[in-house]
Amino acid sequence: MTRRASILGGAAAIATTFVVFVIPFIFIVLMAFKDRQQSALRDFSWPTGFHLWENVAEVVKTRNWMMITAFINSTIITVVSVTLLVIFAAMVGYVLARRKTRWNGLIEFLILAGLMVPPAVVPTIWLLQGLKLFGTLHGMILIEVAYNLPFSIILYRAFVATIPRDLDEAAIIDGARPLDVFFRIVLPLLWPVTVTNIVVQSVGIFNDFTNPLYYLPGNANATVQLTLYNFQSQFSTAYNLLFTNILLITIPPLLVFLFFNRQIVAGMTAGAVKG
Amino acid sequence: MMKTKTLALLGASTLGMLMTASAVQAQQSGYLTILVDNGPQSIATMEAWADAYTAENPDVTIDIEVRPGGGEGDNIVKTRLATGAMADVFSYNSGSLFQAINPTQNLMPLTDEPFQDSVQDSFKSVVSADGEVYGAPFAPAMGGGILYNIPIYEELGLEVPKTWDEFMANNEAIKQAGKVPVIQTYADTWTSQLFVLSDFFNVLAEEPDFAEKFTANEAKFATTPAALRGFEKLEEVAEADYFNADFGAASYADGVRMVATGEGAHYPMLTFAIGAIAETTPDHLDHVGFFAQPGDSAESNGLTTWMPDSLYVPKNAASPELAKDFVAFVASPEGCAVRNEAVGATGPYMVAGCELPDDVPPAVSDMMPYFQEGGQNAPALEFLSPVKGPALEQILVEVGTGSRSAEDAAALYDEDVRKQAQQLGLEGW
């Protein structure tokens, strides 16, 4: 009886996953195979001809190979800002969890404020202009780090609490300096939550649309999400090219997700109980 | 950096010298950035202009950047103007949206540029603030009226209607033949406004001073019979059950496809839809004609027109002289010829001396008589009055779906307008 119920439950779960995740993806793939006339119907139908390569070629070549620039820029932004995020957030989380001072309350309030208060665009641009960082990739990286740091810190802080303090003390007795303790003992132990951070933040930053739109003007600075606007506009949209573009830029996050999938769940729940 | 500056300076001074000496075409040099909206026609024409301009001035490098349209585009333009990060030349709406980007503070006046002599005054009036002209026309004018499917008209032996009664008679005949007479697409609510907005020529024909009185809160849609007719026309078509079956869920893209392929006979729309037809269903471009929304009498049959978007130069442009020269190139007969070549003709130009090619789509040639001698046209209300209520589209969806009567809707719209007029601080509200 219970066995049948669990089979039924499993089947239901698979069916739901199929409807929610797989069908939209199939729709994207089908649309990418169509020509412009058929794609304008936006129905769930078999393509009348094989147009994928034409579509891909056109998408990649549009606006002077903008897609290539965009992939390079997005990769740089994502890799550098996620690296910085992991290092900074792990450091802050470690210190916050280990060292209790009377400033902790204030610091935690500021971290929460960073999560809750929405950033204002125009003053941020003024600040960037003052620092000569506006419209540059490193300026954009700093913005991504700043906006996403609070979330990463909270993940790390909860996880550091599960690492026994004895390990730090043993390392110190063996002669490790503070930086050694952090980089050689603690950071490797944080690996599960680091993977979670890498996956969640890199997908988020890779898919970021509004921040590059406002903070990173200029053709040379295009990021992948902005290339979508080459094919979609208020009054006329080339759906075949739009969906081909979506297909192309969905692949990198999908790969990240497939490779790290198992570790994400572990990392998410790792710090959940004790904190 | 230093080099570009020197070059730009050199170019500017050369231009100045040549301009004082004679009208010889000055060779420009330098680096020019352009921000254009992402309508496919905008990008294609801007790229064609940039190519043509750099062919004449080989020392100029032009960088075209694309922005989204709609509300996101408004935000981009305002943000970049406010932070001084705007490109040297950018495209944006004329009329009431132009007033919203604070032109006197942000834009460079182009009033005294020589090219303005050949720009039509009707266009200048919608890109002016405090007596200065700030824009140059970026596209041809548009008309608001009814796109119709020519094969259906030929098959049923129908004539293009000159009065509203003839239009309704055509609709009845089309319905009898088992086809869809009128296409409505309420998934994109803005498309619901066309019956009312394109009726404005007929309003002006009867009440020539309606726009001034409307702005001064002396005339109302609900109490002016001529203005109320627009609402009533939509109601009549809705009550006669002339709409396509899926009018509540169909989108603008569906509507364009339906009128082109003959799934429906009439689609009230602005003529920019011709561009969308040319791209999505090019085989059917010759099957779509156009006529102005008919009034109640055949004598006063005229077109309600929309002004095109405009090119502007921000006040702090990096290379202003080059920017002005490029804008002058776009607003010249040469610029129009480049546009004709790139995307074809979609309507009459706002620059004297611009010609349309001979082989324009039928919907465009149908529009031309309204602009020529003996034809009649009038600008849409939004170019004559700053007052436009934000909820008109939702109110008209209610009329189209039969959940609100025309009188009721007009009265509700008058109420909607009041809020906006008060926000603008107009007198008399």
Extents of the domains making up chain A:
54-270
In the chain, the amino acid numbered B128 is S
Backbone angles phi, psi at B32, to 5 degrees: -125, 130
CA dist., res. B288 & res. B274, Å (int): 8
Contact B65 A218 (CB under 8 A): yes
Determine whether B297 is exposed, middle or buried from the number of CB atoms within 10 Å of its CB (0-12, 13-18, 19+).
middle
Percentages (nearest 5) of helix, strand, coil residues in chain A: 80, 0, 20
Q: How far is CA B215 from CA B210, B225, B368, B418, in A?
A: 9, 17, 30, 10
- Residue with tokens 């891909």, as numbered in its chain: A56
Whether the CB of B143 is below 8 Å from some CB of chain A: the reply is: no
Q: With residue A244 as reference, give the H or E element that holds it.
A: helix A239-270
Let me know: does A91 contact A152? Beta carbons within 8 Å: no
- State how far the Cα of A114 lies from the Cα of A116, in Å rounded to an integer: 6
Q: Return the amino acid letter for B172.
A: E
Contact criterion met (CB below 8 Å) for B417 and B96: no
Does domain B142-306+369-424 fall under CATH 3.90.1150.10? My reply is no
ipTM for this prediction = 0.74
Contact A129 B84 (CB under 8 A): yes
**Euclidean distance between CA atoms B40 and A70, whole angstroms:** 20
Angle at Cα B354 formed by Cα B305 and Cα B280, nearest 5°?
Answer: 60
A233/B68 Cβ within 8 A: yes
Q: Which residues of A touch B33 (CB under 8 A)?
A: 218
- Per the CB < 8 A criterion, the answer to whether B327 and B89 are in contact is yes
Whether this model's pTM surpasses 0.80: no
Are β-strands B136-137 and B310-312 bridged in parallel, bridged antiparallel, or unpaired? Answer: antiparallel
B281 in A contact zone (CB under 8 Å) = yes
**What is the SS3 assignment for B26?**
coil
Helix (H), strand (E) at residue B53: helix B40-56
Q: For residue B13, what pLDDT is reported?
A: 45
Cβ atoms of residues B305 and B141 within 8 Å = yes
Neighbour count for residue B172 (Cβ, 10 Å)? 13
Q: List the Cα angle B139/B141/B146 in 5-degree steps.
A: 125
- Alpha-carbon distances of B78 from B33, B83, B90, B308, B320, rounded to whole Å: 17, 9, 12, 20, 20
| Residue A19 confidence (pLDDT) | 92
Determine the 3-state secondary structure of A34 from DSSP: coil
Rounded Cα distance between B282 and B278, Å, is 4
pLDDT digits (tens, 9 = 90+) for B255-277: 999 999 999 999 999 998 888 88
Q: Residue ranges of the domains in chain B?
A: 2-141+307-343, 142-306+369-424
Contacts of A230 in chain B (CB under 8 A): 38, 43, 66
CA–CA distance, B349 with B364 (Å, rounded to integer): 12
Q: Which residue of B has its CA nearest to A238?
A: B280
- A128 — phi, psi (to 5°)? -60, -40
DSSP B218: -
End-to-end CA distance of chain A: 39
B208 and A CB contact within 8 Å: no
Say how many CB pairs under 8 Å bridge A and B: 77
Q: Which residues of A touch B61 (CB under 8 A)?
A: none
CB-based contact B257 A214, cutoff 8 Å = no
Q: In angstroms, rounded to a whole number, what is the distance separating the alpha carbons of residues A54 and A35? A: 9
Segment-wise mean pLDDT, segments of 10 residues, chain A, 275 residues:
83 92 92 88 86 91 88 95 96 92 93 91 91 93 95 92 89 91 91 89 91 88 87 77 92 82 66 51
* CB nearest B65 (choices: A134, A217, A235): A217
Q: Measured between alpha carbons, how far is B247 from B260 in angstroms, rounded to an integer?
A: 16
Residue contact B65–A135, C-beta within 8 A = no
Question: Contact at 8 Å (CB) between B416 and B392?
Answer: yes
CB-based contacts of B419, cutoff 8 Å, min separation 6? B389
- The answer to whether B76 contacts chain A (CB < 8 Å) is yes
Give me the residue from B38, B63, B80 closest to A230, CB to CB: B38
- The CA distance from B190 to A240, in Å, is 25
pLDDT score of A4 = 84
Strand partners, B32: B62
Number of helices (H), then strands (E), in chain A:
14, 0
- In degrees and rounded to multiples of 5, residue B298 shows phi and psi of -70, -25
Mark yes or no for CB contact B85/A134 under 8 Å.
yes
Note the residue count of chain A. Answer: 275
Give dist(CA A28, CA A100) in Å, integer.
Answer: 51
pLDDT value of position B346: 82
Instruction: Report the 10 Å Cβ neighbour count for A57.
Output: 11
pLDDT at A232: 77
Name the stretches of chain B with pLDDT < 50: 1-24
Contact A41 B85 (CB under 8 A): no
Strand extents, DSSP E, B331-420 = 377-379
- Is there a contact between A67 and A56 (Cβ–Cβ < 8 Å)? no
Q: What CA–CA distance (Å, rounded) separates B348 from B355?
A: 8
Output Rg (C-alpha) for chain B, integer angstroms. Answer: 23
Residues in chain B: 429
C-alpha span between B356 and B346 (Å, rounded): 9
* Cβ atoms of residues B401 and B234 within 8 Å: no
What pLDDT shows up at residue B19?
A: 41
- Top CATH class of A54-270 equals mainly alpha
- Judge: A218–B63 Cβ closer than 8 Å, yes or no: yes
**Among A37, A125, A126, beta carbon nearest to B280:** A37
**B38·A217 Cβ contact <8 A:** no
CB contact under 8 A, B279 and A230: no
Identical fold for domains B2-141+307-343 and B142-306+369-424, yes or no, is yes
Among B191, B298, B183, B200, which residue's Cα sits nearest to residue B246? B183
Cβ-defined contact of A40 to B69 (cutoff 8 Å): no
Q: Calculate the alpha carbon distances from A31 to B139, B161, B277 in Å.
A: 32, 40, 20
Q: What is the CATH number of domain B2-141+307-343?
A: 3.40.190.10
From residue B232, alpha-carbon distances to B24, B78, B194, B315 in Å are: 58, 38, 13, 46
Q: Is A122 on the interface with B (CB under 8 A)?
A: yes
Cβ within 8 Å, pair A40-B257: yes
Nearest Cα of chain A lies from the Cα of B26 at a distance, in angstroms, of: 28
Angle, CA B265 vertex, CA B174 and CA B185 arms, to 5°: 120
